Amino acid sequence: MLRYIFKRPVCISSLKSLNFFTSQAVKPIGSKNYANSTTIRLEMSQAIPFRRFYSEKARNEEVVVDYDYVKTATTNQKIVLIDVREPDEVKEHGKIPSSVNIPLGNVSTALGTMSEKEFEIFYNIPKPTEETEIIFYCMIGKRSGMAQQNAINLGYKNVKNYLGSWLDWKSKTH
């Protein structure tokens, strides 16, 4: 597999960082035994270069929000507040105003494969786009963090986690 990626001789130390490296895909240049060397040069034939795609880690202040931020978000129609607790928890404890309940187990389906029409019928709000700001919350912030990661994996770019979640909200509103 590697012989189709590289065009020129490479150092084995640079290949060690690649997860898919196997010794069967390369051959040492020359006839000397370089088994004990850490810088064996390898020859790859007729390769097509590829670009590595990666994302930078988001700064903490961009992905975590606090009570004051959420309080202002409750009146902003452009921000979607999603409660990822189970419906029974929402009935028992209450919810943040203007939030919609999408249990954690349904977040990926709702944001990923559900059509816009189905989403609107089921949750009574328009389906968020990849650019829409979404704030997830749960009871303490753990499940909402998982929902946030699911949304990021689905391509949503502006998702946040209310780290204090319901317990923080309740303590500051009562």
138 in active site: yes
Name which of 14, 150, 31, 27 is nearest 82 in CA terms: 150
159 and 111 in one domain?
yes
pLDDT digits (tens, 9 = 90+) for 154-172: 999 999 999 989 999 999 9
Q: For residue 58, what pLDDT is reported?
A: 53
Same domain, 85 and 154: yes
Question: What mean pLDDT do residues 9-22 have?
Answer: 44
Q: Which one from 70, 80, 138, 147 is the annotated catalytic residue?
A: 138
Among 42-46, 53-57, 137-141, 162-166, the least confident range: 42-46
Q: Which residue range is the domain that position 36 belongs to?
A: 2-43
What is this structure's pTM? 0.66
